[in-house]
Every structure is written in structure tokens, then in C-alpha cells.
Amino acid sequence: MTARRTLTTDRLQLLAPTPALADAVSDYLRRNQAHLAPWEPPLPADHAEPAVLRRSLADAALAFDGVLALRWWLSPRDAPGRVVGSVHLSAIARGPFQSCHLGYALDAGCEGRGLMHEALAAVVAEAFSPAVNLHRIQAAVRPENARSVALLQRTGFRDEGLARDYLFIAGAWRDHRLFARTNPGFAAPAHWGAGRG
């Protein structure tokens, strides 16, 4: 199984990780440090340094190639070389689960324009394509993040309930609402028997 390294939408290119993106990703992270802080887990102080990012992007490229974790960096088609966000599918599990966790973030200056909706539609289509063939994508969102909750609902994710003390974010254990979307076209492996999953 493989995933496409570049996904293209009307306004964006979604780019798989490569060390060549280190400077652009560093600029994005530095620009958005305060904007992302309420929603991010604790990060090392040097996480946005280009040298650190080159190593982590190289590791992420290996994970992408092995379809262990898939992250795409968002770049506007009219401003190539600039990174304005990311979408990632982590904890990809095969076997009877065929599932992953969805995460995403967008530049503060790009919110309210439908860009993340566009990016998520492309990533969900890729995750549910025959090439990747996942059955389930799940996401966890803090209940007070109304913009993110609305985005998931608009993108076809269903609310599965509240998970108490789910993740350590911004200095405390935070409740999260869990959302999921399943693949109606999932192709079950032949050894599962006849029919679809």
C-alpha cells in the first residue's frame, strides 16, 4: 500500500514530509506559536528549529513511505514554498482495526476561508482510496474548539461522545469530543472471507 506524496485541491498543494521543507515548516511554526499553543500537547523548546525539523521530517518521510503515519504539509498553490498548515493521520493500525487518528492545524491568517475543509476532503479521499484503504478515521477535539467541531461535522464525521481527561494539553488533562468517519467502500482482505468490512 502506498499514499500519494502530493495531493492537489483548488487552492492548495498537500506535500508529504521531506527535509527540504524544514525552513518553511519552521517559519509556519514560529508564526503560529501562540495560535497553536491552546490546542497542542507539550513540545520540546527546540521543536521549530530547522536542524531539528530536518531530522523529524526525515523520520516522517520514512513513516510516510511505510504508511505508518501520513502527514501532508499545506502550501497555497499561489504561494509555493510557504507552509500554512498540516493534516496528519497517525497511529495507523491494520488487522481488524484498519483505523487511524486525524490531526490538523492551520495558520491563524488562513482561518475562515474553507482551506482546511478543502484539505480534509482530499486527505479523507486518499485514506479511503484503494491505495490506502483504511476503514475508519477518528479525531479528538476539545469541546470549546467550536470551529474545529463544526469543521469535522461539515466533513462528514459523526460525534461519538465525550472522553474525559483524554489528552494533556496546555498544562492540564483536557476532555475531548471524539468524532469518526468510516469508509463505505472499504475492501476487506481476501482472507477475511466474502463481502465487505
H or E stretch at 118: helix 115-127
- Using a 10 angstrom Cβ sphere, with 0-12 exposed, 13-18 middle and 19 or more buried, the burial of residue 172 is exposed
Domains of the chain by residue range: 6-134
What is the tens place of the pLDDT at every residue in 42-88? 888 999 999 999 999 999 999 999 999 999 999 999 999 999 999 99
Q: Which amino acid is at 145?
A: N
> What's the whole-model pTM score?
0.93
What is the tens place of the pLDDT at every residue in 12-23? 999 999 999 999
Angle at 79 between CA 77 and CA 85, to 5 degrees: 80
Q: What is the pLDDT of residue 197?
A: 46
Helical H runs in 12-114?
22-31, 33-36, 50-65
Rg (CA), the chain: 17
From the list 92, 91, 95, 105, the residue with the least C-alpha distance to 31 is 105
Q: Is domain 6-134 annotated with CATH 1.10.101.10?
A: no
Provide the pairing of β-strand 136-141 with 99-106.
parallel
